[in-house]
Protein backbone atom coordinates (compact mmCIF):
# COMPACT_ATOMS: atom_id res chain seq x y z
CA UNK A 1 0.00 0.00 0.00
CA UNK A 2 1.27 3.44 -0.94
CA UNK A 3 2.33 5.27 2.24
CA UNK A 4 1.51 8.71 0.85
CA UNK A 5 -1.99 7.52 -0.13
CA UNK A 6 -2.46 6.09 3.36
CA UNK A 7 -1.59 9.33 5.17
CA UNK A 8 -3.50 11.45 2.68
CA UNK A 9 -6.60 9.36 3.33
CA UNK A 10 -6.12 9.53 7.09
CA UNK A 11 -5.96 13.34 6.96
CA UNK A 12 -9.01 13.50 4.68
CA UNK A 13 -11.02 11.26 7.01
CA UNK A 14 -10.13 13.41 10.02
CA UNK A 15 -11.15 16.52 8.08
CA UNK A 16 -14.45 14.85 7.16
CA UNK A 17 -15.08 14.00 10.81
CA UNK A 18 -14.36 17.60 11.81
CA UNK A 19 -16.68 18.88 9.07
CA UNK A 20 -19.46 16.54 10.16
CA UNK A 21 -19.03 17.61 13.80
CA UNK A 22 -19.42 21.23 12.70
CA UNK A 23 -22.56 20.43 10.67
CA UNK A 24 -24.08 18.37 13.49
CA UNK A 25 -23.35 21.09 16.08
CA UNK A 26 -25.06 23.65 13.83
CA UNK A 27 -28.05 21.33 13.57
CA UNK A 28 -28.34 20.99 17.35
CA UNK A 29 -28.17 24.72 18.11
CA UNK A 30 -30.64 25.72 15.37
CA UNK A 31 -33.20 22.90 15.59
CA UNK A 32 -35.60 25.13 17.54
CA UNK A 33 -35.59 27.75 14.77
CA UNK A 34 -36.01 25.06 12.16
CA UNK A 35 -39.13 23.73 13.88
CA UNK A 36 -40.55 27.24 14.32
CA UNK A 37 -39.87 28.65 10.86
CA UNK A 38 -39.69 25.59 8.61
CA UNK A 39 -41.85 22.72 9.81
CA UNK A 40 -44.63 24.82 11.33
CA UNK A 41 -45.06 27.04 8.26
CA UNK A 42 -46.35 26.56 4.74
CA UNK A 43 -44.14 25.26 1.97
CA UNK A 44 -42.16 27.87 -0.01
CA UNK A 45 -39.05 27.98 -2.14
CA UNK A 46 -36.95 28.89 0.89
CA UNK A 47 -38.32 25.84 2.72
CA UNK A 48 -37.36 23.43 -0.06
CA UNK A 49 -33.87 24.88 -0.42
CA UNK A 50 -33.36 24.81 3.34
CA UNK A 51 -34.31 21.15 3.70
CA UNK A 52 -32.11 20.07 0.79
CA UNK A 53 -29.18 22.20 1.90
CA UNK A 54 -29.32 21.07 5.52
CA UNK A 55 -30.05 17.36 5.25
CA UNK A 56 -27.90 16.54 2.26
CA UNK A 57 -24.93 17.65 4.36
CA UNK A 58 -26.07 15.55 7.33
CA UNK A 59 -26.30 12.49 5.07
CA UNK A 60 -23.14 13.07 3.08
CA UNK A 61 -20.46 12.99 5.75
CA UNK A 62 -21.51 9.72 7.46
CA UNK A 63 -21.33 8.06 4.03
CA UNK A 64 -17.79 9.36 3.58
CA UNK A 65 -16.69 8.29 7.03
CA UNK A 66 -18.34 4.87 7.27
CA UNK A 67 -18.28 3.85 3.62
CA UNK A 68 -16.67 0.42 3.37
CA UNK A 69 -17.98 -1.16 0.16
CA UNK A 70 -17.62 0.70 -3.12
CA UNK A 71 -20.44 -1.06 -4.93
CA UNK A 72 -22.93 -0.04 -2.27
CA UNK A 73 -21.97 3.59 -1.80
CA UNK A 74 -20.26 5.01 -4.89
CA UNK A 75 -23.45 6.18 -6.63
CA UNK A 76 -25.01 7.46 -3.40
CA UNK A 77 -21.82 9.29 -2.45
CA UNK A 78 -21.64 10.87 -5.90
CA UNK A 79 -25.24 12.10 -5.70
CA UNK A 80 -24.75 13.49 -2.19
CA UNK A 81 -21.66 15.29 -3.43
CA UNK A 82 -23.33 16.80 -6.50
CA UNK A 83 -26.77 17.77 -5.16
CA UNK A 84 -25.50 20.47 -2.75
CA UNK A 85 -23.95 22.32 -5.71
CA UNK A 86 -27.38 22.36 -7.34
CA UNK A 87 -28.91 23.72 -4.12
CA UNK A 88 -26.26 26.43 -3.76
CA UNK A 89 -26.50 27.79 -7.30
CA UNK A 90 -30.32 27.60 -7.14
CA UNK A 91 -30.25 29.61 -3.93
CA UNK A 92 -28.05 32.34 -5.42
CA UNK A 93 -30.08 32.45 -8.64
CA UNK A 94 -33.45 32.70 -6.89
CA UNK A 95 -32.12 35.28 -4.43
CA UNK A 96 -31.00 37.53 -7.30
CA UNK A 97 -34.26 36.91 -9.17
CA UNK A 98 -36.25 37.93 -6.10
CA UNK A 99 -34.37 41.09 -5.12
CA UNK A 100 -34.01 42.29 -8.73
CA UNK A 101 -37.82 42.41 -9.11
CA UNK A 102 -38.05 39.16 -11.07
CA UNK A 103 -35.45 40.17 -13.64
CA UNK A 104 -34.64 36.90 -15.39
CA UNK A 105 -31.62 38.42 -17.17
CA UNK A 106 -29.94 39.17 -13.86
CA UNK A 107 -30.81 35.69 -12.62
CA UNK A 108 -29.28 34.20 -15.76
CA UNK A 109 -26.00 36.01 -15.05
CA UNK A 110 -25.85 34.06 -11.79
CA UNK A 111 -27.25 30.76 -13.05
CA UNK A 112 -24.77 30.26 -15.90
CA UNK A 113 -21.51 30.51 -13.88
CA UNK A 114 -23.27 29.02 -10.85
CA UNK A 115 -23.96 25.71 -12.58
CA UNK A 116 -20.37 25.35 -13.82
CA UNK A 117 -19.05 23.65 -10.64
CA UNK A 118 -21.91 21.16 -10.86
CA UNK A 119 -21.22 20.45 -14.53
CA UNK A 120 -17.47 20.10 -14.02
CA UNK A 121 -17.96 17.70 -11.11
CA UNK A 122 -20.40 15.59 -13.13
CA UNK A 123 -17.80 15.31 -15.89
CA UNK A 124 -15.09 14.52 -13.36
CA UNK A 125 -17.11 11.64 -11.90
CA UNK A 126 -17.83 10.22 -15.36
CA UNK A 127 -14.07 10.05 -15.95
CA UNK A 128 -13.28 8.51 -12.55
CA UNK A 129 -13.32 5.03 -11.10
CA UNK A 130 -13.53 3.57 -7.61
CA UNK A 131 -11.15 1.34 -5.71
CA UNK A 132 -11.67 -0.55 -2.48
CA UNK A 133 -8.53 -0.54 -0.33
CA UNK A 134 -8.08 -2.13 3.08
CA UNK A 135 -9.07 0.01 6.04
CA UNK A 136 -8.54 2.76 7.00
CA UNK A 137 -8.54 3.83 3.34
CA UNK A 138 -11.64 1.95 2.25
CA UNK A 139 -13.51 3.13 -0.84
CA UNK A 140 -11.98 6.04 -2.75
CA UNK A 141 -12.39 7.78 -6.10
CA UNK A 142 -9.50 7.55 -8.56
CA UNK A 143 -9.41 10.47 -11.00
CA UNK A 144 -8.19 9.68 -14.50
CA UNK A 145 -7.93 13.38 -15.42
CA UNK A 146 -6.39 16.35 -13.58
CA UNK A 147 -8.75 18.24 -11.30
CA UNK A 148 -9.04 21.82 -12.55
CA UNK A 149 -9.71 24.70 -10.18
CA UNK A 150 -13.19 26.05 -10.94
CA UNK A 151 -13.28 29.84 -10.65
CA UNK A 152 -16.90 30.28 -11.72
CA UNK A 153 -18.11 30.26 -8.09
CA UNK A 154 -16.32 33.58 -7.59
CA UNK A 155 -18.16 35.06 -10.59
CA UNK A 156 -21.47 33.96 -9.07
CA UNK A 157 -20.67 35.52 -5.70
CA UNK A 158 -19.54 38.78 -7.32
CA UNK A 159 -22.75 39.10 -9.37
CA UNK A 160 -24.90 38.45 -6.30
CA UNK A 161 -22.97 41.09 -4.37
CA UNK A 162 -23.35 43.65 -7.16
CA UNK A 163 -27.12 43.13 -7.35
CA UNK A 164 -27.41 43.28 -3.56
CA UNK A 165 -25.34 46.46 -3.37
CA UNK A 166 -27.44 48.06 -6.09
CA UNK A 167 -30.60 47.36 -4.11
CA UNK A 168 -28.86 48.63 -0.97
CA UNK A 169 -27.93 51.83 -2.80
CA UNK A 170 -31.61 52.35 -3.69
CA UNK A 171 -32.52 51.99 -0.04
CA UNK A 172 -29.69 54.32 0.98
CA UNK A 173 -30.94 56.93 -1.49
CA UNK A 174 -34.45 56.63 -0.08
CA UNK A 175 -33.11 57.16 3.43
CA UNK A 176 -31.28 60.31 2.29
CA UNK A 177 -34.42 61.70 0.65
CA UNK A 178 -36.38 61.28 3.87
CA UNK A 179 -33.55 62.72 6.05
CA UNK A 180 -33.12 59.48 7.98
CA UNK A 181 -29.84 58.65 9.71
CA UNK A 182 -28.97 55.10 8.76
CA UNK A 183 -25.44 53.86 8.26
CA UNK A 184 -24.34 52.17 5.06
CA UNK A 185 -23.06 49.26 7.14
CA UNK A 186 -26.56 48.74 8.51
CA UNK A 187 -28.03 48.58 5.02
CA UNK A 188 -25.33 46.24 3.75
CA UNK A 189 -25.84 43.80 6.60
CA UNK A 190 -29.62 43.93 6.45
CA UNK A 191 -29.56 43.06 2.75
CA UNK A 192 -27.51 39.94 3.35
CA UNK A 193 -24.26 41.18 1.86
CA UNK A 194 -22.26 39.69 4.68
CA UNK A 195 -23.40 36.19 3.75
CA UNK A 196 -22.35 36.36 0.12
CA UNK A 197 -19.17 38.25 0.97
CA UNK A 198 -18.08 35.42 3.27
CA UNK A 199 -18.83 32.91 0.51
CA UNK A 200 -16.72 34.97 -1.90
CA UNK A 201 -13.81 35.08 0.54
CA UNK A 202 -14.00 31.32 1.12
CA UNK A 203 -14.04 30.55 -2.61
CA UNK A 204 -11.11 32.88 -3.17
CA UNK A 205 -9.10 31.27 -0.36
CA UNK A 206 -9.87 27.82 -1.73
CA UNK A 207 -8.51 28.75 -5.15
CA UNK A 208 -5.45 30.47 -3.67
CA UNK A 209 -4.56 27.55 -1.40
CA UNK A 210 -5.19 24.99 -4.15
CA UNK A 211 -2.98 26.80 -6.65
CA UNK A 212 -0.12 27.15 -4.17
CA UNK A 213 -0.56 23.62 -2.82
CA UNK A 214 -0.06 24.80 0.76
CA UNK A 215 -3.32 23.40 2.08
CA UNK A 216 -5.37 21.19 -0.22
CA UNK A 217 -8.17 20.38 2.21
CA UNK A 218 -9.88 23.77 2.20
CA UNK A 219 -12.79 22.38 0.17
CA UNK A 220 -13.52 19.95 3.02
CA UNK A 221 -14.26 22.89 5.31
CA UNK A 222 -15.58 25.26 2.65
CA UNK A 223 -18.55 23.00 1.88
CA UNK A 224 -19.90 22.72 5.46
CA UNK A 225 -19.36 26.44 6.06
CA UNK A 226 -21.27 27.20 2.86
CA UNK A 227 -24.05 24.91 4.04
CA UNK A 228 -24.19 26.63 7.42
CA UNK A 229 -24.22 30.14 5.95
CA UNK A 230 -26.99 29.32 3.51
CA UNK A 231 -29.03 27.54 6.21
CA UNK A 232 -28.78 30.57 8.50
CA UNK A 233 -29.64 32.88 5.62
CA UNK A 234 -32.69 30.80 4.68
CA UNK A 235 -33.83 30.61 8.29
CA UNK A 236 -33.75 34.40 8.45
CA UNK A 237 -35.58 34.71 5.14
CA UNK A 238 -38.17 32.20 6.30
CA UNK A 239 -38.64 34.20 9.49
CA UNK A 240 -39.10 37.31 7.37
CA UNK A 241 -41.77 35.67 5.23
CA UNK A 242 -43.75 34.59 8.30
CA UNK A 243 -43.51 37.87 10.21
CA UNK A 244 -46.81 39.73 10.15
CA UNK A 245 -48.06 43.05 11.40
CA UNK A 246 -44.74 44.88 10.91
CA UNK A 247 -43.97 47.76 8.64
CA UNK A 248 -41.47 47.21 5.90
CA UNK A 249 -38.68 49.11 7.60
CA UNK A 250 -39.68 49.00 11.25
CA UNK A 251 -36.36 48.84 13.07
CA UNK A 252 -37.54 50.12 16.44
CA UNK A 253 -37.13 46.65 17.94
CA UNK A 254 -34.19 44.26 17.66
CA UNK A 255 -34.73 41.75 14.88
CA UNK A 256 -32.78 39.66 12.45
CA UNK A 257 -35.18 40.02 9.55
CA UNK A 258 -37.67 42.30 7.88
CA UNK A 259 -40.14 41.41 5.18
CA UNK A 260 -41.28 42.97 1.91
CA UNK A 261 -45.04 42.58 1.99
CA UNK A 262 -45.91 43.61 -1.54
CA UNK A 263 -45.58 41.26 -4.50
CA UNK A 264 -44.35 42.24 -7.91
CA UNK A 265 -47.05 43.06 -10.42
CA UNK A 266 -47.45 40.58 -13.21
CA UNK A 267 -45.82 37.76 -11.26
CA UNK A 268 -47.97 34.60 -11.08
CA UNK A 269 -49.14 33.86 -7.54
CA UNK A 270 -47.51 30.42 -7.50
CA UNK A 271 -44.16 31.86 -8.56
CA UNK A 272 -44.47 34.81 -6.18
CA UNK A 273 -45.25 32.57 -3.22
CA UNK A 274 -42.18 30.48 -4.08
CA UNK A 275 -39.64 33.28 -4.45
CA UNK A 276 -40.99 36.11 -2.25
CA UNK A 277 -39.30 34.83 0.94
CA UNK A 278 -35.99 34.75 -0.94
CA UNK A 279 -36.21 38.49 -1.56
CA UNK A 280 -36.72 39.54 2.04
CA UNK A 281 -34.38 41.97 3.74
CA UNK A 282 -32.12 40.92 6.59
CA UNK A 283 -31.54 43.13 9.62
CA UNK A 284 -28.84 42.58 12.24
CA UNK A 285 -29.01 46.05 13.78
CA UNK A 286 -31.14 47.96 16.25
CA UNK A 287 -30.79 51.42 14.72
CA UNK A 288 -34.09 53.33 14.81
CA UNK A 289 -35.76 54.13 11.52
CA UNK A 290 -39.07 55.75 10.70
CA UNK A 291 -41.89 53.24 10.47
CA UNK A 292 -43.85 54.94 7.70
CA UNK A 293 -41.20 54.60 5.02
CA UNK A 294 -41.86 52.29 2.11
CA UNK A 295 -39.20 50.34 0.28
CA UNK A 296 -38.17 51.61 -3.16
CA UNK A 297 -40.36 49.94 -5.72
CA UNK A 298 -39.74 50.54 -9.39
CA UNK A 299 -41.89 49.35 -12.23
CA UNK A 300 -40.53 48.23 -15.51
CA UNK A 301 -41.13 50.80 -18.20
Domains, the chain, ordered by start: 3-282 (1.20.1070)
Give 101-110's long-range contacts (Cβ < 8 A, gap of 24+): 101/264, 101/298, 101/300, 102/264, 102/267, 102/271, 102/275, 106/159, 106/163, 109/159, 110/156, 110/159, 110/160
CA 220 vs CA 57, 180, 183, 193, 206: distances in Å: 12, 44, 36, 24, 10
Rounded Cα distance, 66 and 73, in Å: 10
The answer, yes or no, to whether residue 272 has pLDDT greater than 80, is no
The pair phi, psi for residue 141, each rounded to 5°, is -90, 135
- Residue 183's pLDDT is what? 63
The pair phi, psi for residue 182, each rounded to 5°, is -140, 125
Mean of the per-residue pLDDT values of the chain: 71
- Residue 284's pLDDT is what? 46
Q: Where are the beta strands (DSSP E) in the chain?
A: 128-132, 139-143, 257-258, 281-282
Q: Residue 219: exposed, middle, or buried by beta-carbon count in 10 A (0-12, 13-18, 19+)?
A: middle
Rounded Cα distance, 196 and 201, in Å: 9
- Residue 54's pLDDT is what? 92
Q: Contact, 245 vs 224, CB < 8 A?
A: no
Comparison of pLDDT for 156 and 282, the residue scoring more: 156
Rounded Cα distance, 37 and 236, in Å: 9
Rounded Cα distance, 72 and 150, in Å: 29
Q: Contact, 220 vs 23, CB < 8 A?
A: no
Bridge partners, residue 141, by sequence: 130
Comparison of pLDDT for 300 and 71, the residue scoring more: 71
Nearest to 189 by CA among 253, 255, 238: 255
- Helical H segments across 191-283, by residue range: 193-212, 218-242, 269-275
- Residue 94's pLDDT is what? 84
- Residue 270's pLDDT is what? 46
pLDDT band (50, 70, 90) for residue 141: low
Amino acid sequence: MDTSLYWQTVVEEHCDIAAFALIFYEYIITINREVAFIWNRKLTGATILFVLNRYLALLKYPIYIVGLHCKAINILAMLLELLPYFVWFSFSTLRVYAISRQNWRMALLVAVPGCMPLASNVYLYTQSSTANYPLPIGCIWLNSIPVNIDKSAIVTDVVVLIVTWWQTYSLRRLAAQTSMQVSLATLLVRDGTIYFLVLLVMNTCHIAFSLTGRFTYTITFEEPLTTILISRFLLNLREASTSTGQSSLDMSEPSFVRRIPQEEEGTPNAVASFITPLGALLDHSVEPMHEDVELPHEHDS
